[in-house]
Amino acid sequence: MKVGLAVCLSVLMTAGPVMAQAKTGKTPAADKAKKRTGRGKGPNAKGEQKKPADDKAAADKPADAKTGNEPAKDAPKQPAFKKSKKVTITWLGHAAFEIISGEGTRVLIDPFLKNNPATPEAKKDLAQYKPKAILVTHSHGDHLGDAVEIAKASGAPIVGDYDMVSGLKLKDDRKMGGNVGGKMVFDDVEVHIVPAVHGSQPGGRPVGYVLKFKTGQVLYHTGDTWIFSDMALINEIHKPTILLMNCGGGPYTQDPATCGLAMKKYFKKAKAIVPMHFGTFPPLATEADVQKALKKQKKKLKLMKPGDTIQL
Ligand SMILES: [Zn+2]
């Protein structure tokens, strides 16, 4: 319980200066704010400039110890990728996923890995990750996780709520802030930012992501949200075919039964449902809880174990 609380409630960063334009993808609307406010003057929601509250914690992170961008020589190599019509999804434990598009574009979501008890050892070596973008749903430690260290090592930008991303101690080209309704493009993957009902303090608001692939799949990572009726709009606008849905329960998020209700009520046409955010810590729902609550979704249910890879 203590571990779960500590991780779920800890927040690594707060908002601060500098809004960046990423090297890849279309310019986010929020970049206009940079022009208005000037370099290093990114405003928060109240128009004030915040200072990182936890600079020391950030500075103490191992990422800052090795500032070079080159991965370790003995880092695990990514497997060779062949173009495919399928999307490759690897569950790294909790809410962390690596997604690979049909053309080989790699995207990480919520890469909480090194201190994630659910992440297999082989997946904890951050040097193996070569993402085009790192999507973070909110600032809590079990989601922002190792994103900063991976961004420094790989050169990929962190995508997230503008206020959260602004506060990260990263170079401009490794931050890509947006907000609900925004779209960014990374090669053959479109990323849309959608709402989520949760917390993200300090440092912005929580979001979810819809990823649209040229091969037709539409993947929705819900973040830590509770069920909310605007899920109907997410379904109407984006028509997700693959759901990575929070079913974690405990004191933090919706329980598996509510997760099942969201699937039934709002995403009838989704073809695959991957539950996540369960089983990581004792207060969270177990795999058995999830299986029981989602038995009516049996045909669509893709119950993964951390480290598993599926193609859809
Ligand atoms: Zn969480």
Provide the residues around ligand 1 (an ion) whose CB is within 5 A.
Answer: 142, 224
CA distances for 268 relative to 165, 256, 297, angstroms: 33, 17, 10
What is the Å distance from ligand 1's center to 277 Cα?
7
How big is the CA angle at 206 (ends 203 and 211), to the nearest 5 degrees?
125
pLDDT string in tens for the chain (312-residue length): 333 433 443 333 333 333 333 333 333 333 433 333 333 333 333 333 333 333 333 333 333 333 334 445 566 666 677 888 999 999 999 999 999 999 999 999 999 999 999 999 999 999 999 999 999 999 999 999 999 999 999 999 999 999 999 999 999 999 999 999 999 999 999 999 999 999 888 788 999 999 999 999 999 999 999 999 999 999 999 999 999 999 999 888 999 999 999 999 999 999 999 999 999 998 999 999 999 999 988 899 999 999 999 999
Amino acid at 147: A
Amino acid at 153: A
What is the Å distance from ligand 1's center to 152 Cα?
23
What is the Å distance from ligand 1's center to 224 Cα?
6
Say what the pLDDT of residue 297 is: 86
What is the Å distance from ligand 1's center to 197 Cα?
12
Say what the pLDDT of residue 16 is: 32
Say what the pLDDT of residue 82 is: 81
Say what the pLDDT of residue 74 is: 63
What is the Å distance from ligand 1's center to 199 Cα?
9
Give the predicted TM-score (pTM) of the model: 0.77
What is the Å distance from ligand 1's center to 74 Cα?
31
Residue 206 placed within a domain: yes
Say what the pLDDT of residue 298 is: 87
- Tell me which residue range forms the domain holding 125: 85-311
Residue 126 placed within a domain: yes
Residue 59 placed within a domain: no
Residue 137 placed within a domain: yes
Instruction: Residue 281: give its domain's CATH number.
Output: 3.60.15.10
Tell me the C-alpha distance between 119 and 141, whole Å. 15
Residue 247 placed within a domain: yes
Tell me the C-alpha distance between 107 and 131, whole Å. 5
Residue 67 placed within a domain: no
Residue 37 placed within a domain: no
Residue 181 placed within a domain: yes
Tell me the C-alpha distance between 143 and 57, whole Å. 16
Amino acid at 189: V
Question: What contacts 123, CB < 8 A, 6 or more positions away?
Answer: 90, 92, 93, 113, 306, 307
Domain count across the chain? 1
Say what the pLDDT of residue 296 is: 87
What is the Å distance from ligand 1's center to 143 Cα?
6
